[in-house]
Structure formats: C-alpha cells, structure tokens
Structure 1
Amino acid sequence: MRRSNKKQLTRGPGIRLGVGLYGLCFIFVLLGLATITRASELNASVDRDKIAIDETVNLRLRYSGDESGGQPDFELLEKDFDILSRQQSNQYRVINGRAESFVEWTLSLAPKREGELMIPSLHYKDQVSNAIPIAVSEPQSRPEDSERKVFLEVELDKSKVYVQEQLLVDVRLYTTIGLHDIATQPLQVTGAHVEKVNEQRYERKLNGTSYAVYELTYAVFADSSGQLTIPALAYAAVAGRRDPFSLFNRNSQRLRLRSLAKTVEVLPKPDRYSGAHWLPATSLGIVQSWSQDTDTFAVGEPITRILTVRGEGLRAAQLPPLPKLDVEGLKTYPDQPQQEDQTGPDGVTGSRIETTAIVATRPGSYQLPAITLTWWDTKNHQQRATQLPAFRFNVSGSAAPAAPSQEAGTLQTLVPGTPSLEVQDHFWRNLAIAALASNLLWLLYFYHLRRQHIRANGQAVPKNPRPHKSYGSSAVKRAVDSGNPRHIQQAILNWLHTRWPQVESATLADATRQLGFEELDELQELLGAALYQQPPRPLPMGKIQGLVERLMDRRAGHNGEAEEAEALPKLFG
C-alpha cells in the first residue's frame, strides 16, 4: 500500500504540470488571434476639414496588419480632388514589449470646386476606411504683392468682345523663389475656340519686389453672343532645391496655385453691318502677285496669279473664298486654297492663299475685275472695306484662224469689239445659195455614176473603208503610253493637222474651239490641268485612253468622207 501510494504521489504533479503547459499555449494562441484580428484595420484622417478653394488638405491613410504589397484604389478621390503628391512608408515598432507594423500613405489633395466635398471610403485588403467631409470656401483675401512669394494672375485685353472676335487671355505665374516641375492646366472655355499663341519668361518688378514671370497667352473666339466665362486655372509646382541623390526630396515643397474665374460680355453682330461675311478683325488686306512679268503674257502660255488675304485677329478658317475668275478668252485652272495661322503676342493672324493658272486663248487687252471684302474694325467699331483694284494686262501672239467651212445658214461668230457686219443684199445671198446647191447636185450626180460603174465591173463597195495610216496616229498612241501630258498634247495637235488640214491652230485650245469635238474638249481640260496647275494634277490615264479611242473613232468617220471626196476627181479624168 505504501508503494502504490508513493507512485501516485510522484505521478500527480506531472499530470498537473502537463495540463498547465497546454493551457498556457492555448491562451497564447487565442491572444495572438485576437491581436491579429484587432490589428487588421484601415483608418483615414486629414490635417484639417475646412479649406479655401486655393488651398490643399493632407490625407493620411494607415493600414495595420499583414502587408504584402499593393495599394488602395485612389481613383475615387479624383472626382472632387486633384492628387498633387503621393507618398508611402512602411513602419515596424515595439511599444511596451508589443510589436506593431503598418503601412501608411500620405496624399496632398487640392479641391476642384467649392462647396461640401467628401473624401470617400477607400478599400484595401478587405478593409474599408472611414469617409471624411471637407468644407471648401471661396479664396481668402490675398496679401499685397510685396508679401506674396508665388501667385497666379489672369488678365484679359478686353471686357467686351463681338461674337467670333479675338479675345486675348494672359496667364502669368509670379515667383520670388525657385520653382521646378511646373504643371500647367490648359485653358478650356465652353462655347469658344481656344488656341495658345505665345509663351515667354521674363522679370517684372512689383512694388519694389522683383519677380520671375512665366506667361502663357491664349486667343479665345466666342461662338455665340451672351456671357462667356473664363474658368479658374490651377497650376502645380515644386518649390525648393531638387536633390538628385535624395529619394524623397524632403527639402522641397509642392505648391498648388489657382486663379480667379472671369466673365466677358459677348456682343452680337451689329445690325448696321452689311457685309456678306462677318469678319471682325483689327486689319484686313488683299495682296496680288504673279509668277512672271505680265508684260510677257502670250497666247497659250500659262501664268500663275496668287491672291493672299491676311486678317489680324482672324483665324484662316474664318476667311471667305474669293470670287471665281470668269473672263472671256481666259482659261483658268484654280488650285486648292491654302490656309495658314501665324501666332504671336498679338494673337492669331490668318492667311488664305488662292492660286490660279491662267491661259489666254487669243491676244488682246484683258481686265480682271476688282475684289472687295467688307469687314468690321474691332478697334474703331465701324465697318470697313478692303479692295484689290481691277488689273489690266495685254496678251501678245496671234489667234487661230476661224474654220474655213461652216454649215449652211449659220452666221459668222463676231469677236467682241469688232464692228457689226452690214446686212448683205438678198439677191447676192440667194445667188450664192443657188450656186452652192448646184455644185452639190453635180457632185452627187457624178458620185452616183461612179458607183454604178464600179458595180458594173464587179467591184465591191466597202461600207466603211479603213482609213489609211497617216502621221500622228501611232505618235498619239506612243505619247499616251509615255504618260507625259506635253507629249500627248503635241501629238494630238499634230494628228489633228494631218487629218483636218483646214485646222490651222498653234494651240490645242484653238483646235478644240474650231472642231467642237466633245472628247477633244475634255482632253484639253485634263492636259491643261496637268500642265498649268501648281501643283500639277495627275493624269487619269484610263480616261485619257478612252477619250483618245473615241477621238480615233470620230476620225474614222471623217477619214471615210475624205477618201470618198478624194475619189470624186477621178471621175473627171
């Protein structure tokens, strides 16, 4: 009994000791789980909740728990705030024997508008931060210029403008300290066209203080009358020394500057304005130039006329097209107009350049009509007119003679400026008609006898005699294959002289006017555009080949008549 009791006494404490160790481990596990559960949280805080529109607020977001990379989605903040800077730090510390680790993000936020804004709840690793309301008020009263180190200024050159008139907006950044990484917000105006026209840096002294000035100039053109608002602009910059060997640049400070919005009254077009196109400008001019001396203008030789319209305070898109040139005796080949905008401190100067190749078809004296443009003087608030005077020049050379044969009953075309023909005596006119009719009857009679003679000898009369091969037919084909418009033009002209000897013309235009062939007129237009326009218009070779084939078919009909006419004199032999 004693032995058994002794065994029980020695085993009892061991059992109690084992139970105590397991219990302590279980308690530590529970405490550890509680600590982990309690540490996983996401908290947000700000340095202040009431700011002005031109001030910033710092948001601090802290996550306590196991950190394995990544970051919250900050896009929700960009609805009401601009994120000027963003920093991240990881920390581990022990307080009173308790270990703690967390990751923290610090953001500098600038409000986009006034009123009650809200920093929304952010999400990270299944945790949600608290939302924070921010009250944004109007800009606070600004100190005197001498007390400000950095500020933004917006200046307008006019308080009232007409619709589509140029308004200059100068945005200036003043600073007495070193700035870098300047981020500018482009000017965007609802209901207007905006164009940046100038950028410059200079120094200016205000109230005895020297400032470095960074200036941007915009030209604004209102689309309609009424109130036009120039919105507030926000600039961001970094002040302080930039240290290339520092990862965080702790000596620098990020600044955000904001200007004040401005309102402009836009006036409608005046009722007393009578121009065909509304052109509000500070000045408007028309300049004419030629590719060569007009004293050497000859028939069939191209000369280029260049008209340039320049308007100060107008965009090139606002300048209207000039009247088309339509003068009898002149062929014109207008080129595509060119538009160009030149920018500078005074805004936009628009130019419209119209180029036209002119070919005279006959000699003589020509006058190009005057060109007048009505515009509105925005400086003196009155209507003005700019005129390019009429231009007269002479064309030398000789015109092609008129076709010797005309259809019966047609009258000779009178050249402008020649005296009217006297009415001939009816007796002589009737006598001439009778003589022509008699000769025609005799020709038909001998032609009929000739055909009967051929049939009697058993010879077949071809219905469509094949034209004989003459100079020009093969040359035209070779010229078309070469694709050279000048070679094609000359080959067709030589071919016309071969097939129609009565056509005595020095240019293809004169031959076209004498013969009146539709395909020949189209050929002359296409070749002229390729030769005289600047830049030359490419030849549509498929269309050129089709027109030449049609011209050859027309030639075949005329050639058959020519061969029959050649056969008639043999009846008299």
Structure 2
Amino acid sequence: MNSTGKIFLLIFLYFIDLNLNSQITVSAWVDKKSVPINESIALTVSISGASALNPKIDIGNINDFNIYSSGRSSNISIVNGQITSTVEFSYTLTPKRTGKFIIPKIGVFTGNEKYFTKEIEVEVTPPSFNNQSRGQIKQQTQPGRKTHTMTRDEMIFVKAFTDKKSAHPGEQINLTIKFYTAIPIASNPQYNPPNYSNLISEELPPPRTGTEVINGVQYYYAEVKTALFAIMPGKATISPATIIAYIQPKDDDFIDPFDPNFIQKFFSRATNAEEVKLQTKPIELSINPLPPPPPDFSNAVGNFFITAKTDQTSVNLGDAINLIVEITGKGNVKSINSPEFKSENFKVYDVLSSETISKTNDVIGGTKKFTYIISPTKEGDIKIEAIKFTFFNIDTKKYETIYTNPINIKVNKSKDGKTYDFDKTPQQLSEISKKQSDINYIYEKISPDFIFRLESLIDRYSTIINITAILVLLINYIITKRQESIESNPSDYAYKKALSNFKERIKKTKAQTDPKKKLTEIYDSIYDYISAKLKKNITHLTFSKLEIEIKNCKSDFSTEILSKLKDLIERIEFLNYASANLNNDEIENIIKDSINIIELMEKEFLK
C-alpha cells in the first residue's frame, strides 16, 4: 500500500470513530401548525447523542412570538460503557400578530459543534372564542353598563402581585403579571420580565388570555406567571416589569368596551397602532431563615420521595453496575445534590445527573436522577445499603430523612477467573495486565480481514479517492464559511436576501385560494421586506413613522416611491377591511404593483 493510501486510511478510520462516538441528532416540533392569536403553541427542541448532556439553545432569532420556557427533561443511558443522553427543552410561544410565520432554524451548541433544527411553518389566525363564553359575557356586562367616560389609565393597565409576602429559602413564590385593556389592541402585548434580587426564577407557561369583568367593565387580559425561589434569608426584591402594547390611536373610531364581541375586533386594526408602555410597581419580600438543620441536610426544600434500582443484580467481579437513584416531588429539583453513597463492597467511579421538570398547576417539581457507576470489590452475595436523603418539608415545616430500599447483588467470579483485591497497593496491582481493566465493557474491534480488503480497494482507486476527498473538504470549507458568515451577521444576510425572500413569498401567495389571506400575506411580505432592509422590526408602525425610519436609513430615498408605497398599503387595507367580495383581477393587480414597487425600493436601497 502506498503512503498516500495509508494516510487516507488513517483519516478514514479516524472519522468513522469520530462519527460513531460523537453523532448528535437535533430536532424541533410544535404541537399544532395553526393557532388563534389568543392561544399558544408548545415548541419542543430535542438533542440526542454522546455529548448532548449540557447543550446551549439559541432561540433569539424567533421574532414573531413571545417565548416562555416550559421546562427541561433529560435522560442518560449507559450501555457497554457508551454514555448516551437525550435532552428536551420545552417552550411556550404566544403569537404577536396574525399571518403565516416561519419558526427559523434553532441553533444547538454542544460545546464542540453547532447544529440546527429544521424550519417550522405556523399560521396564526384571528382570535377564537366559543359562543357560550360570549353569551356569558353579555349577561354579565349589560346590566352593569356604565355611561361615564373612562380615562386611559382605567382602560389599560397592568398589575403585579405574589401569592405570599414571606417565605423560606428554596420555598416557591408565584409572581403574577396581569395586563388589562378595554381598548382594541393590534397584537398580543410584549412582556419584558423584571430583574430579581436574592431570587432565582422559573417561568410558568402557558400565558393565559381571556376576558374579565371589573366594576361592570369587560376587559381583555393577558397573564404571565413566574415561580421564584429565594436564595438566602433577608430581603428579596422584584423590580418593575414592562408591558408594551399597541393600541388604536385616540382619533380612531372607538370600539365599545361593553360590546360582548369587542375582543374579536381587537386584532383587526393592526395597521395604525400606537405604542403604550406600562410598568408594574416594585415588590419586596421577606425571606425567613430555616430552622437549625441536621448535619446531613442536603439543602433541598420541598416534599420528596426517593427510590433506587440497578440495571442488573447478578454480575461478574470487575463488571460495572449502574445504580440509579431518583428523587421525585415538588420543589426546585435542579438544586438537589447527589446523596452520599459509601460502601466497603463497591467502588464508585462516577456520578451522572439529569432531571425532568414539571410545572403542573403552577407548582414546580419533577425528578432528579443520579446514576452512580459502581463496581463490586468482592465475590458473593453483597448488599447496597439504604441511601438516605434529608430535606426540609415545606408542607410540615420540619426536616425529614427518607431512605431507599436495600438492593441485593450477586457477584460471581471474574471472566478470566482472577480475583481482584481493591485494597492492595498500586505496586501489587501492577501485576494486572492493561488488557484486564477493572471495568470490562464490550468493545468490538475491526477484523484484520476487513482492514486488508479496505487497503486493497484504496490502492486500486487511490487517485479517485484522493480527488474526491479534496473536493469534499473544499465544499465543506465553503459551506462552513458561508454558514459562519450568516450566523455572525444574520441581519446583513436578511438584508441581502430581502428581495428574493419577498418574491418567493409572493410566488407562494398565488397558490392561496382565500382572497383575504392573499391580501394579508402580501401585506406581511411588504412589511417584512422593509424590516429586513432597515434591520429592525417595523410591523406595528404607522406609515408616517415608517417613512421617517426609511428616511433615517437613507435620507435621499425617493419621495415618489414612498408615495406609491403609501397608496399600495392603503389599497390593501381598504380591500381587506372594507370589501366583502374580492375578485382575482384586483388581487393580481395588487401583486404586480407590489413587485414593481419593491423592485424600485431595492434599487433605491442599493444606490
């Protein structure tokens, strides 16, 4: 075999081993592809593989939805010495406006490589309220109807409150931020959470939306809850939260807040909206110290139970056993440390941990799983003694110690017939050959016959293989550099692709059968194009403010083109909200005019 072939063979085998040991699979999915604007979507991101235990998820490029973390679950399996983990991140997404949107590729960084999920298309429809709730609202609001003029502060406001004013460290405190409005809004409100002092937070999705009657007035509300856990005794503070809403301007037609169907009209006037910023008041909490703890207290606060099991109960001396200890209950399971495991009969090599978080009925809980990799140190029938776990029971306000059940293990002679004495000194243990490690996992070696046949093939086709390898590396380099460029400057990439993305969306729009949806898609495509060129979200701006933004970006932008753009937008709005029936000729004219105007704008931006 020539030297080039040998080098290629080494590289080939290296990459085979690399792929087998570090293969990562990432995926993302939603629970539904169509959702009313007053409801939410559940998004799940899953990562599986040998190095998937602590991935970092990048969801910062999801711009059309408000994002709330719903929890994380993880699982570890150890088979023949190979550790494989699966981690799932759950999120709740609430749409900001109606239309068709793309959840972009989500980046997953595992420490060595960055992976991406596939894009997901979601349609957001107008709000959905059943007939029964409408009737109930009507009965509640009509008898108490008021006639006096309400102030702006009475018609739109936000409240923040906690379910308790004092707590122990580690005890759950629920914070509620509730936004009310009796004024039509252009989209779901945007929530900017507060900052916390001496507290850690865990979101409690999904956000709730609906209607509520206060003093005879019907309000639309949006509610966000967060679980808080105090870190140490003393004071804890919650800074003001900010709510950004887009409402109808004062000079627009007023929608009667007592109208039982007024909620359905909120999301139909998104084209001429006024931004309103609201802030909650700061909140101060008193954190009381825990009673004096016992020596073996694990710093866990909640209400838990513990179990233990092994993956096998009969092993050979020198084999590994996975001892799995699970602590389940309510409380912040992320903060639970591994219970101490000591035994003269077993040697502990490593401890791995994972958790599954639950948020049922706004209560944080779940399971913390610890996998102890252990090996017996002697033959015979031996026992894994009960493992204890001490925590502060938040229900009884007392410390409790709980235990696992003992586990019996039968240890047979080692496979080679030797006896291992783990108490011997390193000099005495040196008699053991390197091939006989104290933990024997199955490892299947590549046969010599396979290597010989592979070498023959490489010798015969070495030139073709080398050229192919160079081409693959070159293509991979180009793709990698292009992807790095996109990731480092996503706004620049969107700027360059704005026109082609616009035309692609318009092309798909032509296949749409519903004229109203066609108009909505054309309208959204125009605004998304301008957002990409300005490198900012201008969805909720009035045209006068939009014109200012374009002029700020490019002061010499053609006034004539802006005038044509204004006429086009006004035509779309008029047809969308005023026309009951639309014909295909009108839609086709709108499409042609949209393409012409956007192409003119593209030339202006490139000047």
TM-score by length of 2: 0.39
Larger Rg belongs to: 1
TM-score by length of 1: 0.41
Greater RCO, CA 8 A, separation 6+: 2
